[in-house]
Amino acid sequence: MEAILVEIDALPAVADRAPARKDDLLLFDESETNLASTITAVRGDVELAFRNAAYTRRERFKVQRHSAVPMESRGLLAEWDASHERMTVSGAAKVPFPNRRMLAKMVSIPEPSIRMLEFDVGGGFGARGEFYPEDFLIPFAARLNGRPVKWIEDRRENLLATNHARDAECELEIACARDGTILGQRGQAFTELDAYLRTVGATASRNIAQVMSGPCHVPHIHIDVSLLMTNKTPSGTYRAPGQFEADFFRERLIDIAARELGIDGVAFRRHNLISEAEMPYRLAKILVLDIETECDSGDYGRTLDRCLAEIDWAAKAGLQRRVIDGRYHGLAVGCYIEGGASGPKENARL
Name the range with the highest mean pLDDT among 72-76, 93-97, 242-246: 242-246
Residue 181, classified by CB atoms within 10 Å of its CB into exposed (0-12), middle (13-18) or buried (19+), is middle
The phi and psi torsions of 44 (rounded to 5 degrees) equal 65, -150
pLDDT, tens digit, for every residue of 99-156? 999 999 999 999 999 999 988 877 778 888 889 999 999 999 999 999 999 999 999 9
The phi and psi torsions of 98 (rounded to 5 degrees) equal -60, -40
Range(s) of the chain covered by CATH 3.30.365.10: 17-67+163-298, 75-159
**Predicted local distance difference test score (pLDDT) of residue 343:** 62
Asked if pLDDT for residue 344 goes beyond 80, the answer is no
Nearest CA among 220, 228, 183, 225 for reference residue 207: 225
d(CA 69, CA 12): 29
- The dotted CATH code for 17-67+163-298 is 3.30.365.10
The H or E element that residue 145 is part of is helix 133-145
Nearest CA among 211, 185, 332, 340 for reference residue 269: 332
**Predicted local distance difference test score (pLDDT) of residue 254:** 98
pTM for the whole thing?
0.90
pLDDT, tens digit, for every residue of 233-244? 999 999 899 999
Nearest CA among 50, 44, 21 for reference residue 217: 44
- What are the DSSP E strand ranges found in the chain? 35-43, 55-63, 66-67, 75-81, 86-92, 114-118, 149-152, 164-165, 168-176, 182-192, 220-228, 281-282, 285-286, 294-295, 323-324, 327-328
Q: Are 73 and 154 in contact (CB under 8 A)?
A: yes
- The dotted CATH code for 75-159 is 3.30.365.10
Residue 107, classified by CB atoms within 10 Å of its CB into exposed (0-12), middle (13-18) or buried (19+), is middle
d(CA 261, CA 175): 12
* Helix 243-261 with 265-272: angle, nearest 10 deg: 120
Higher pLDDT: 294 or 120? It is 294
Burial 64-78 (b: 16+ CB within 10 A, else e): eebbbebeebbebbb
Q: 59 by DSSP, 3-state: which?
A: strand
d(CA 271, CA 211): 19
